[in-house]
Amino acid sequence: MKFSILTLFPEFFDCLNNYSIIGRAIKEAKIELETVNIRDFSQNKHGQVDDYSYGGGPGMVMQVGPIYRAIESVKKNNSKVVYLSPKGRVLTQKKLIEYSNLEHLILLNGHYEGIDNRVVENYIDEEISIGDYVLTGAEIPSMVLIDGIARLIPGVLSSEESYSLESHYNGLLEYPQYTRPKEFNGLEVPDVLLSGDHKKIEQYRICQAIRTTLENRPDLIDRSKLSDIEKKYLDYIESERR
């Protein structure tokens, strides 16, 4: 899969070439990262890509022309153009899975007070937000998208199991994890995880995943999507809380 990143700060993404699993995926050609400097498409001798907002208001707005030309320089028939913006739909695991099946994703990074809305209305396919807050630019949100998508691409992680049991993948948050030592400062690993009984361990983890989701993100729980055993544990945990 190829990512084309349209930005005013292409050097921001250099760190990904050596960053953990993402860096390895790049080296193994599982994913390709291309950065495009939007300033290169300015027709101003000073490389200006922003101007004052029509109607007044604080700050500067990125111009339609340089952004359009930057998009066109990398866009192909199989490309999807995503604009990272706090006004977009909030990113979900389902959306990451959808994107992971694409061949080419163009990530448009705005800055300043945003971009000329003619870009949004005519030259992008989707507007995505990583949360209900505002950052100084879209470079960090783009990194979030790249990381979240790349790890779903076959061969990037060691196996499908590495992500299929994680938080949000199946609508529940992940169960708690433990490792050595068995005891630390009087805090012990739950006995069931040391029992060697795989059925009991699986049941424990299902129960803990539901408990964690109910306590931290009850809005994620959709009974219609739960298995019979998950519904059973949900009913039991809810009865405890009454």
pLDDT tens-digit readout, 91-147: 999 999 999 999 999 999 999 899 999 999 999 999 999 999 999 999 999 999 999
pLDDT above 90 coverage of the chain, percent:
92
**CA separation for the pair 12, 81 (Å, rounded):** 20
Q: Average pLDDT, whole number, for the chain?
A: 94
Confidence of residue 162 (pLDDT cuts 50, 70, 90): low
Confidence of residue 161 (pLDDT cuts 50, 70, 90): very low
Tell how far CA 16 is from the center of its chain.
15
The backbone torsions φ and ψ at residue 85, rounded to the nearest 5 degrees and listed phi first, read -155, 145
The backbone torsions φ and ψ at residue 32, rounded to the nearest 5 degrees and listed phi first, read -130, 130
User: Which burial class, exposed, middle or buried, applies to 105 when counting CB atoms under 10 A from its CB (0-12, 13-18, 19+)?
Assistant: buried
User: How much is the pLDDT for 160?
Assistant: 54
Confidence of residue 242 (pLDDT cuts 50, 70, 90): confident
List C-alpha distances in Å: 208 to 4, 117, 143, 230, 236: 40, 46, 30, 10, 12
pLDDT over 90 at 170, yes or no:
no
User: How much is the pLDDT for 163?
Assistant: 59
Tell how far CA 160 is from the center of its chain.
18
Q: What is the pTM of this model?
A: 0.88
User: How much is the pLDDT for 241?
Assistant: 86
**CA separation for the pair 130, 142 (Å, rounded):** 9
pLDDT tens-digit readout, 29-46: 999 999 999 999 999 989
* 11: number of Cβ within 10 Å: 9
Query: Can you say which residues are annotated as belonging to the binding site?
Result: 110, 130-135
pLDDT tens-digit readout, 66-106: 999 999 999 999 999 999 999 999 999 999 999 999 999 99
Confidence of residue 167 (pLDDT cuts 50, 70, 90): low
| All structural domains of the chain | 2-150 (3.40.1280.10), 165-241 (1.10.1270.20)
56 contacts: CB under 8 Å, gap ≥ 6: none
Confidence of residue 171 (pLDDT cuts 50, 70, 90): confident
pLDDT tens-digit readout, 68-77: 999 999 999 9
Q: In this structure, are strands 187-188 and 60-62 parallel, antiparallel, or unpaired?
A: unpaired
Confidence of residue 164 (pLDDT cuts 50, 70, 90): low
**Spatial contact of 177 and 204, defined as CB atoms under 8 Å apart:** no
Q: What is the dihedral sign for C-alpha 145, 150, 152, 153? A: positive
pLDDT tens-digit readout, 43-60: 998 999 999 999 999 999
Query: Can you say which residues are annotated as belonging to the binding site for S-adenosyl-L-methionine?
Result: 110, 130-135
Confidence of residue 166 (pLDDT cuts 50, 70, 90): low
205 contacts: CB under 8 Å, gap ≥ 6: 175
